[in-house]
Amino acid sequence: MENESNPSITLITMDRAASCTIFTRSDGKEARFPLDPSPFEGTSVIARLDFSPALAALLATTLSGDQVLFEMPLEGVTDQLAERLVVYLDQNQWSLLSNAVHGAPKSSEPDRAAARRLREWVDQRRIVLPASAGHYYETGKRFSTDKRYDLGLTVLQYSRGWQMRDPLQVRRNELHDVFCHRLDRPGSVRNAPVFTLAPDALYSPTRWVGAELPSTFPNHFVFKPNALLAASVSIDAMLDTQRVEEGPDTGWTAESQRFSDWLDELDQDSQQKRRAIDIHLVKDLQQDLAEEAAAADVTEELFRRWGFRGWVRAIGESPAVGLFREMLHSRHLNKGTTWRPNDLTDMIYLSCAAGYADVVVCEKHMRDPLQHGLKRMGRSAPVYRRLTDAVAAIEEALEASSVPADPAQ
């Protein structure tokens, strides 16, 4: 029984209209502090944020009255999946889901039924539908403000704070852990879950270091504020009314097209061409390989002795980057392949998802090389083209599993 002489904080509210932060105690008393300056930008649609420490949940309410519930990470707990199935949707599937949720005219009844089923399983804590940085970027660059809001709201409401770790960080973790195992140092592996509630997992430190509180604060006091900040920023950024501009052309599409065209004209068999593709890939990953080998305490002499074959083997033994390699092989070996600007994004995120998720749903032009790569690697993650087919498969998997619906939800 709670000690009434020592009341606890039960709710923390940031209210935009009242311009204050409200701390509510278990005895019903409140303390209000002004929001000065206001953290809400003019393009923000967030009206209110409510955080319940006891429930480990953040509720965001928009100016339109829509609500987004995020599960929050628990300190010291690395895996909060609790045996839930992980279903990764490519961006086109999120768009289809959004159309179904918001009653778009082009949405079919089977799609709307699939949307309702997925929401039911999410609410029952039987599946998670993680968002990725790719989803945030693809959603943010849509031209229609209304459609962008609907799509962003759908991603947030169905993902509930679950995210896929940045594939660039996943591949670094994979290479690091492979090197550790080669050195027979299993205790040094990172074991960072790919699907997580951890703050700032969407973007690796190589892209953005995130916001940090001063190191003078004990870790216990830093974790929750960082987690709240990351969750609040994710919601705010996804729903912001200002469109995200297209990024600069990195030249990757043109370079990939030149390489594919060169391979098409090369008078060599597929194995010889695979080696050429591996050389191309190792050149692209040379910094990652070198830095993660150093982080795993691989000596320079040993790293050089492993050489090209050893580096390719490390790549091939890794679920995500190994699958990315297989997708590269499949697409470059397919004569007449046309590369599109978004192909790199699709391949990096889908190879990471298929390396770890239980179900992946994506477009046909990516599903085929993904399935081919999974087969070559001896992996069996089911990949679907249609959301309705995926929902039927998920239902079968849930019926066959021991994961019951959560009666508390």
- Average pLDDT by stretches of 10, the chain with 409 residues: 70 95 93 91 96 93 97 86 96 96 91 96 97 95 93 98 96 96 94 91 69 43 78 96 88 94 94 96 95 96 96 96 96 94 93 96 92 91 93 94 59
Q: Cα separation of 8 and 11, whole Å? A: 9
Tell me, yes or no, whether 213 lies in a domain. Answer: yes
pLDDT at site 30 = 93
Mutual angle of helices 300-316 and 167-182, in 10-degree steps: 120
Strands 85-89 and 127-128, by their bridges, are: parallel
Sheet holding 85-89, edge to edge: 127-128, 85-89, 359-361, 383-384
Tell me, yes or no, whether 69 lies in a domain. Answer: no
129 contacts 122 by C-beta, under 8 angstroms? yes
List Cβ neighbours of 226 (8 Å cut-off, separation of 6 or more).
199, 200, 210, 211, 212, 213
pLDDT at site 207 = 61
Terminal C-alpha separation, the chain? 24
Domain that holds residue 143: 87-409
Tell me, yes or no, whether 8 lies in a domain. Answer: no
Tell me, yes or no, whether 55 lies in a domain. Answer: no
pLDDT at site 408 = 54
Tell me, yes or no, whether 233 lies in a domain. Answer: yes
Contacts 24+ apart (CB under 8 A), 263-269: 263/332, 263/333, 264/335, 264/336
Q: Cα separation of 44 and 240, whole Å? A: 5
Residue 46 pairs with which residues in a beta bridge? 62
Tell me, yes or no, whether 2 lies in a domain. Answer: no
pLDDT at site 318 = 96
- The total domain count for the chain is 1
Tell me, yes or no, whether 81 lies in a domain. Answer: no
Tell me, yes or no, whether 33 lies in a domain. Answer: no
* Tokens describing residue 166: 């940045």
